Structure 1
Amino acid sequence: MTKTSFKTIKKNVFCCLNGEKSMAPAASQNYHANSLDILKGIGLFALLLMNCNRWFVAVPLPADVYGLHNSTADIVISQFIDYFISGQWYGFLAFLLGVQFFNSSKRESRQQRTDYFRRYLILLLIGVLHQVIWTGDILIIYALAGMLAVLLEKKGANVALMIGLLCCTNLPGFFASLFLQLIHGKPPEHSASAAAENAGYISQLMTNGGIKQFIAFNIDGIGPKYKYSLLTGQLFRIVGFYVLGYYAGRINFMQQVKDKARLTGIVFMGCLFCFLSLLYLQASLFAKQGSDLVLDPVRGMVSNMQYVFGTASYLLGLLLLLQFYRFRQAVQVVAPSGHIWLSAYLFQTLTGLLLFYPIGFGLYPDTGPLQNLLIAVGLFLLQIVFGALWLRYFYYGPVEWLWRSGAAYRWRRMRRADTK
Structure 2
Amino acid sequence: MNANKVAHGQPMSLRERVHFLDIVRGFALMGIILVNYFLIVDSAKGFDMESNDVFHNLVNWFASGKFITLFSFLFGVGFMIFMDRAAQKVDSPNKLFARRLTILLGFGLLHLTFVWIGDILAYYAVAGFLLLFFYKRTAKTIRNWLITLFVIQLFTPFFTMLLNTISSGSSGKPDFADFELISHNSLTYLASIGDRWADMVTMASSSFFTVYSMFFMFLLGVYFVKMEFFKNMEAKKAIWNRIWIICTIAFLITQGSTIITAVNPFENTLWVNMATALEQNGGLTGSMFYMSTLAMLFLHVPQLRGALMVFTKVGRMSLTCYLLHSIIGTLLFLKYGAGLVDHLQPAGTFFMAIGVYVFLVLFSTFWLKRFKYGPMEYIWRQLTYGKVKQISKAFTVHSSSIKK
Shorter chain as denominator, the TM-score bin is 0.7 to 0.9
Shift of residue 37 of structure 1?
1.1
Q: Aligned equivalents of 1:188 and 1:391: distance in 2?
A: 56
Q: How does 1:189-204 map to 2 (within 5 A)?
A: 193-194=176-177, 196=178, 198-199=179-180, 202=182
Instruction: Flag the 1:216–1:320 CA change in 2: closer, same or farther, 3 A.
Output: same
Shift of residue 298 of structure 1?
4.2
Aligned residue number for residue 225 of structure 1: 203
Q: Aligned equivalents of 1:207 and 1:307: distance in 2?
A: 29
Number of aligned residue pairs? 377
Shift of residue 57 of structure 1?
5.2
Report SS of the residue matched to 2:206.
helix
TM-score by length of 1: 0.78
Aligned residue number for residue 367 of structure 1: 344
Q: How does 1:125-204 map to 2 (within 5 A)?
A: 125-132=106-113, 133-169=115-151, 170=153, 173-174=156-157, 177-178=160-161, 180-182=163-165, 184-185=167-168, 193-194=176-177, 196=178, 198-199=179-180, 202=182
Deviations 1:376-399 (A, max 9, x none): 222112212221222233332222
Q: Is the 8 A contact 1:337 1:384 kept in 2?
A: yes
Instruction: Flag the 1:370–1:59 CA change in 2: closer, same or farther, 3 A.
Output: closer
Between 404-413 and 164-173, the greater mean CA deviation after superposition: 164-173
Between 337-346 and 113-122, the greater mean CA deviation after superposition: 113-122
Q: Which amino acid aligns with 2:381?
A: R
Q: How does 1:250-289 map to 2 (within 5 A)?
A: 250-255=226-231, 257-285=233-261, 288=265
Q: Which amino acid aligns with 1:61?
A: G
Shift of residue 118 of structure 1?
1.2
Q: Which amino acid aligns with 1:111?
A: D
Structure 1: gaps spanning 5 or more residues: 1-28
Q: Is the 8 A contact 2:372 2:397 kept in 1?
A: no
Structure 2: gaps spanning 5 or more residues: 1-13, 399-404
Shift of residue 369 of structure 1?
2.5
Between 341-350 and 264-273, the greater mean CA deviation after superposition: 264-273
Q: Which amino acid aligns with 2:360?
A: Q
Q: Aligned equivalents of 1:137 and 1:417: distance in 2?
A: 28
Aligned residue number for residue 11 of structure 2: none
Q: Aligned equivalents of 2:43 and 2:385: distance in 1?
A: 34
Q: Aligned equivalents of 1:209 and 1:241: distance in 2?
A: 37
Aligned residue number for residue 407 of structure 1: 384
Q: Is the 8 A contact 2:372 2:395 kept in 1?
A: no
Between 89-98 and 371-380, the greater mean CA deviation after superposition: 371-380
Aligned residue number for residue 41 of structure 1: 26
Q: Aligned equivalents of 1:187 and 1:349: distance in 2?
A: 40
Shift of residue 351 of structure 1?
0.2
Give percent identity, aligned residues only: 23
Kindly report the root-mean-square deviation, in angstroms, between the aligned alpha carbons of the 2 structures. Answer: 3.3
Q: How does 1:115-126 map to 2 (within 5 A)?
A: 115-126=96-107
Instruction: Flag the 1:291–1:130 CA change in 2: closer, same or farther, 3 A.
Output: farther
Q: Aligned equivalents of 1:275 and 1:410: distance in 2?
A: 45
Instruction: Flag the 1:168–1:30 CA change in 2: closer, same or farther, 3 A.
Output: farther
Q: Is the 8 A contact 1:357 1:364 kept in 2?
A: yes
Shift of residue 360 of structure 1?
1.0
Instruction: Flag the 1:192–1:90 CA change in 2: closer, same or farther, 3 A.
Output: farther
Instruction: Flag the 1:301–1:110 CA change in 2: closer, same or farther, 3 A.
Output: farther
Shift of residue 301 of structure 1?
2.0
Aligned residue number for residue 23 of structure 1: none
Shift of residue 257 of structure 1?
4.8
Shift of residue 115 of structure 1?
1.3
Instruction: Flag the 1:220–1:158 CA change in 2: closer, same or farther, 3 A.
Output: farther
Shift of residue 157 of structure 1?
2.6
Q: Is the 8 A contact 2:154 2:281 kept in 1?
A: no
Q: Which amino acid aligns with 1:249?
A: V
Q: Is the 8 A contact 2:173 2:272 kept in 1?
A: no
Shift of residue 174 of structure 1?
4.9
Q: Aligned equivalents of 1:238 and 1:161: distance in 2?
A: 16
Query: Do residues 327 (structure 1) and 304 (structure 2) align?
Result: yes
Aligned residue number for residue 110 of structure 1: 90
Query: Do residues 99 (structure 1) and 77 (structure 2) align?
Result: yes
Match of 2:290 among 295, 314, 320: 314
Match of 2:219 among 243, 251, 255: 243
TM-score by length of 2: 0.81
Shift of residue 32 of structure 1?
6.1
Q: Aligned equivalents of 2:396 and 2:377: distance in 1?
A: 21
Deviations 1:101-146 (A, max 9, x none): 2122222323362311111122122222322332211112222332
Q: Aligned equivalents of 2:203 and 2:316: distance in 1?
A: 29
Q: Aligned equivalents of 1:166 and 1:111: distance in 2?
A: 32
Shift of residue 358 of structure 1?
0.9
Instruction: Flag the 1:92–1:413 CA change in 2: closer, same or farther, 3 A.
Output: farther
Shift of residue 327 of structure 1?
1.3
Instruction: Flag the 1:49–1:159 CA change in 2: closer, same or farther, 3 A.
Output: same
Query: Do residues 347 (structure 1) and 330 (structure 2) align?
Result: no
Instruction: Flag the 1:30–1:259 CA change in 2: closer, same or farther, 3 A.
Output: farther
Report SS of the residue matched to 2:100.
helix
Shift of residue 212 of structure 1?
4.1
